[in-house]
Structure 1
């Protein structure tokens, strides 16, 4: 079968290629740059990423072994207004709740290095796609640049950025809003108060600093400083940037400490969402499908989530065939999740940017609580709330239907569990059938996971409990599932009782939690998770 063609060698395209390679799927990645190695490109001040703990773990699982060393996990977060602290969040050293702040070129470099060890991934530098055709069995594309030729692939994924050629060739509209925010950014090496803590400062004291400035730490004493620019702000000159730096440092330190200016940039924030993310065998992902960024929303994080969601579905399609339902579920889940974030941001943005806002909020919107509003502004950065929390795929063709007539009563087959169907699972320790132990997230990426909750098994060797209780029947049921699955055992899981069985997708989202071993029901849930039986080749036509 032909390889999957990926247009674009940014974080989304590289992560998708690496994930597919780990599933035994060959890929060809078109990189428009001549360097052919993303880590050789100059770093830009505005290109950093905030990664949730789950996404950082996913990159580490793919082979980005120094992802945490190259980034910084914050010790805390503060929100201030003028000279008053109005909100604070603290992260313990082992809490696993702090986001990872990392320069984007470090992410790309590590993905490149991991891909270099994979024989199934080929990166073609200096190459740009300019024509595409597709039929029921694959796609044919033409490139120009270093390799002006035709290529044949099983699927095509456009990860080629906000000006995506793939999106234009597919004639997909990209509606949204331009420059909803505008920022000036610098990277400084400097000593600031509260090292390790990120700071969002509203109405900072001092003239000419604007309505908002943010400081976020990076490794090696480097800080990223962002100033929100008003619509009336002129284009920044070098002198204006230095004036902002000196004024801000004086407001925080009482003086201007020694600093080294490493880079500066000015950039607008756009909000856009492609109307379609799939046309036949062609898909969009990353900035080609969506632009976010207002109020701290993270485009890199969302692009990596796109890759994680799409990779296991394309892997299943490449090896076993896939139904239209499975392939359509990528757009339904990811476009739905990003669209919900954009709507939530649009609701908050007018409040965040309105003049004279705080007195109004105290009287009405937030029942007099500055603190609640300050926490709302931090949601995107801290990965919580409707703007920042991990997606839950409830409205998905792969999800269980909602109870009829609005009933809240659960099926007697469904077990209690702290994780709702469609949400990311909690990372717990699990034991494989060979007795090896690992973290649950370390087993994700390729197959369905079936996890039996069996308290007490941790103190016994696997040979003792493999033939006891539910295990023999459950192992037989898992072997008979319509798609590959791995059986694991966990001593406990939040909210789950003994003998519960969790069915988990390769991207770590829960399908369902069942009570006991019910082979017929487990089969039907696994069939639901794969979108039903694969379509026949003649049925897989572009639409």
Structure 2
């Protein structure tokens, strides 16, 4: 086996899809008996929508989700007014998706799982990793049932309490974002419309929100409780919490599904790679849920790592390419942690800062720009959408390949000219939709191709 992926959340499933379409032999293992059942990460940022477009799941995701509703503020049973949850951005040719999409995490996982299985990928449920060792040739994982499995590489996508991270001895550095406990739950109720995200600020600094989950009959409850509280997340406890924090009665909550309690924190793993093992998603970084950065950053970890593993395992690229995963993603995760903490504390507004379209890798060793006069778009930046001779760029980018703009080469998807928005030059677009290399001509592509596995013919 080429790759063992530990954890069947959005991170592990995304990576499984990307590897499956590259012909990499990978297995996702999950200690639970089924996919995670809760709504938890419910916001998909525009950049993640672009990722899902490339992976062939965006249509299903959009059909299962919907737009974010405006927030309705309540006090003593009276409506005080409504407000938008985020700064509105206008879509344009280069940015076709400009607003977050709401879809409960369990449904996102269902869509990803269906895509993975259609591609021939597999998830083994009920497989809890209890130990992990590695040598120069591969990784051995041992399971709670006494069995073992061998792979060339392993990826820890098993959450904030990652057993794999602990087995590797990798620490996490972080801080508490809020000293108060939070409760999140999925429930059904009567007495509130499904047009708004209903917010009930408390006099003690707490709050309670009830958000209708697009594509379902459920609401997601999110509540900040007074410091020192001991939350009761039983069905009766959730009903009492709603009755205390709103004008609704306990019996208005007709059904309680998944529920959890947590204290928001921000933490970053000290390393994202240890030999043949990689950390991704919550195993590598833990966010406050404010601003919908955690799940999105995690999906993009997988998207970054997938093409690099494929290049090494199937494209002849050197193993050193895999070092750039930590180089690029750890710095990005640190920035996203600062951002999500700022949103939680009210220092940053949701909008242009949180859609993740500005995330890039200009400082990466993989970003090479040899142009004498570079325009606004640089190597390491996200490659915008656009149209060239009636051909949409995102349609050309879609798939596990690299794309050349501004020149043509045999065996490589190419367009003879980039759109005017790109500025002058030749651009080599990475499989994850970032400009890898830019030059005035194709001179220098051969050397770049040798260390990235990007071209078979140069």
Superposition TM-score tier, normalisation by shorter sequence: 0.7 to 0.9
Change (3 A) 1:320 1:529: closer
User: Using the alignment, how far apart are the partners of 1:182 and 1:84 within structure 2?
Assistant: 27
1:487 to 414, 419, 433: 414
Post-superposition Cα deviations, 1:172-221, rounded to whole Å, max 9, x if no partner, equal 112323573532234345575682x556x5xx566578246463642245
Which residue is 2:372 aligned to? 413
Asked whether the 8 Å contact 2:291–2:354 carries over to 1, the reply is: no
Structure 2 counterparts to residues 501-516 of structure 1, below 5 A: 501-515=426-440
Structure 2 counterparts to residues 352-431 of structure 1, below 5 A: 352=346, 376=348, 378-379=349-350, 382=351, 384-385=352-353, 390-400=358-368, 412-417=371-376, 419-429=377-387
Residue 116 of structure 1 pairs with residue 114 of structure 2: no
Q: Secondary structure of 2:400's match? A: coil
Asked whether the 8 Å contact 1:341–1:387 carries over to 2, the reply is: no
Structure 2 counterparts to residues 430-509 of structure 1, below 5 A: 437-440=391-394, 443-452=397-406, 474-475=407-408, 478-479=409-410, 485-489=412-416, 492-496=419-423, 500-509=425-434
Which residue is 2:159 aligned to? 161
User: Using the alignment, how far apart are the partners of 2:90 and 2:218 within structure 1?
Assistant: 21
Which residue is 2:223 aligned to? 227
Asked whether the 8 Å contact 2:70–2:83 carries over to 1, the reply is: no
Asked whether the 8 Å contact 2:426–2:442 carries over to 1, the reply is: no
Change (3 A) 1:211 1:388: farther
Shift of 1:531: 9.9
RMSD (Å) for aligned C-alpha atoms: 3.7
What TM-score comes out, normalization by structure 1 length?
Answer: 0.70
Structure with the bigger RCO (C-alpha within 8 Å, sep 6+) is 2
Change (3 A) 1:8 1:191: same
Shift of 1:91: 7.0
Shift of 1:227: 2.1
Name whichever of 87-96 and 125-134 sits farther off.
87-96
Post-superposition Cα deviations, 1:135-184, rounded to whole Å, max 9, x if no partner, equal 33322333332xx4332212111112222222122111123235735322
Which residue is 1:107 aligned to? 108
Asked whether the 8 Å contact 1:191–1:257 carries over to 2, the reply is: no
User: Using the alignment, how far apart are the partners of 1:330 and 1:205 within structure 2?
Assistant: 42
Structure 2 counterparts to residues 48-63 of structure 1, below 5 A: 48-63=41-56
What TM-score comes out, normalization by structure 2 length?
Answer: 0.82
Shift of 1:493: 4.6
Shift of 1:346: 4.7
User: Using the alignment, how far apart are the partners of 1:8 and 1:205 within structure 2?
Assistant: 36
Q: Secondary structure of 1:113's match? A: helix
Shift of 1:423: 2.4
Asked whether the 8 Å contact 1:176–1:272 carries over to 2, the reply is: yes
Bigger helix share: 1
Which residue is 2:214 aligned to? 218
Shift of 1:21: 0.7
User: Using the alignment, how far apart are the partners of 2:202 and 2:141 within structure 1?
Assistant: 56
Which residue is 1:127 aligned to? 127
Structure 1 alignment gaps of length 5 or more: 353-372, 402-410, 453-473, 534-543
Asked whether the 8 Å contact 1:216–1:225 carries over to 2, the reply is: no
Change (3 A) 1:205 1:330: closer
User: Using the alignment, how far apart are the partners of 2:108 and 2:371 within structure 1?
Assistant: 45
Name whichever of 504-513 and 130-139 sits farther off.
130-139
The total of aligned residue pairs comes to 443
